[in-house]
Amino acid sequence: MDLIHLMAAPFAACVVLVLIHAYLGGHVLRRGVVFVDLAMAQFAAMGAALGIFLGFEHDSVSGYAMGLGSALFAAALFAWSRRSIPKNVPHEAIIGIAYVAASAATILIADRVPHGAEHLKHMLVGSVLWVSWGEVAKTAAIYGALGLILWRFDRPLTRVSRDPLKARAEGMNLFFWDFLFYAIFAAVVTSSVRIAGVLLVFTLLIVPSVFTSLVGQNGRGRLPLAWAFGILLSMAGMLISYGTDLPTGATIVVVFGLAIFVTSLLLQVARRSKG
């Protein structure tokens, strides 16, 4: 009973996070901007740190607005840079530079905040173990609304993600669709980072989609497989965390990393045995 009572809300939070992040992860891989989640999450963390510096509570509406505003700025930057930078400069390079700059700015701000090191640790690894059912419900409502928007505009968003040059040739406004995608991404990440931290958010976004690519799953079965993988691995990480008394978020991240390594190894062994 202690296990169920302690882990029920955190596990529900992970399920909610997996459902939205696995979908977004598919777009991220198609766009070839794997580190956009880290960058967006870091901008949200920078905004939250600035809010704390200005005297707002971490869990206040004002603190959330600071994080969201910073992430939306990153969304506009990434949407603009995709079509404005020279073609010989990879979009991922711009995202990486933005991530490093936001990380450094967060450290500088935290240096001027009492207990800044604790705030940095919270932003990095989160506190998913202590999430409340109220937070789970609020996050699910936010993601549900954003999910409806993604579902409504899934076709044009997918076209822009898969082949932006063809989409532009067909008359689609790339900046509009890119900004819509990144703005939704910003809203998701701002909520996620407050619960799970930068590392776990990145893991839930990328690893399930990478797993489906490794096993060769395509088409309609790709997303359900990513969901199943993410949910099962989250449960495994929580159980290991409970049994070993290790930090929950970091344990889940390690479990996901090991799962991808083992999957890659088994697939390589299978290919060699067939050859």
Q: Is the confidence at residue 219, as pLDDT, over 80?
A: no
In a domain, 115, yes or no: yes
pTM over 0.75: yes
- Output the average pLDDT for the chain: 86
Give the residue numbers spanning the domain of 80. Answer: 2-268
pLDDT of residue 168: 84
Q: Is the confidence at residue 5, as pLDDT, over 90?
A: no
In a domain, 274, yes or no: no
pLDDT of residue 20: 93
CATH number (domain holding residue 220): 1.10.3470.10
Structure tokens at 53: 């510096």
Q: Is the confidence at residue 1, as pLDDT, over 60?
A: no
Instruction: Please give the tally of structural domains in the chain.
Output: 1
Q: Is the confidence at residue 227, as pLDDT, over 90?
A: yes
pLDDT of residue 275: 61
In a domain, 14, yes or no: yes
Q: Is the confidence at residue 217, as pLDDT, over 70?
A: no
Q: Is the confidence at residue 123, as pLDDT, over 80?
A: no
What whole-number percentage of the chain has pLDDT above 70? 94
pLDDT digits (tens, 9 = 90+) for 248-269: 888 999 999 999 999 999 988 8
Please provide residue 234's backbone torsions phi and psi, each rounded to the nearest 5 degrees.
-65, -45
Average pLDDT over residues 152-171: 87
In a domain, 252, yes or no: yes
Average pLDDT over residues 200-214: 90
In a domain, 182, yes or no: yes
In a domain, 109, yes or no: yes
pLDDT of residue 116: 66
pLDDT of residue 146: 92
Asked if residues 102 and 110 have their Cβ atoms less than 8 Å apart, the reply is no
Q: Is the confidence at residue 218, as pLDDT, over 60?
A: yes
Please state, in angstroms and as integers, the Cα–Cα distance from residue 71 to each residue in 8, 11, 39, 66, 101, following that order: 30, 26, 9, 9, 14
Average pLDDT over residues 169-176: 88
CA 37 to chain CA centroid, nearest Å: 5
Structure tokens at 265: 């190894």
Q: 115 by DSSP, 3-state: which?
A: coil
Q: Is the confidence at residue 13, as pLDDT, over 80?
A: yes
pLDDT digits (tens, 9 = 90+) for 180-199: 998 998 899 888 888 888 88
- Contacts by residues 170-176 (CB-CB < 8 Å, ≥ 24 positions apart): 174/82, 174/83, 175/79, 175/80, 175/83
Q: Is the confidence at residue 237, as pLDDT, over 70?
A: yes
pLDDT of residue 274: 76
pLDDT of residue 130: 84
Q: Is the confidence at residue 169, as pLDDT, over 90?
A: no
Please state, in angstroms and as integers, the Cα–Cα distance from residue 7 to each residue in 12, 88, 142, 236, 256, following that order: 8, 48, 22, 12, 18
pLDDT of residue 86: 79
pLDDT digits (tens, 9 = 90+) for 89-114: 888 888 889 999 998 998 898 888 77
In a domain, 273, yes or no: no
Asked if residues 68 and 187 have their Cβ atoms less than 8 Å apart, the reply is yes
pLDDT digits (tens, 9 = 90+) for 25-59: 888 888 878 788 888 888 988 898 888 888 887 67
In a domain, 275, yes or no: no
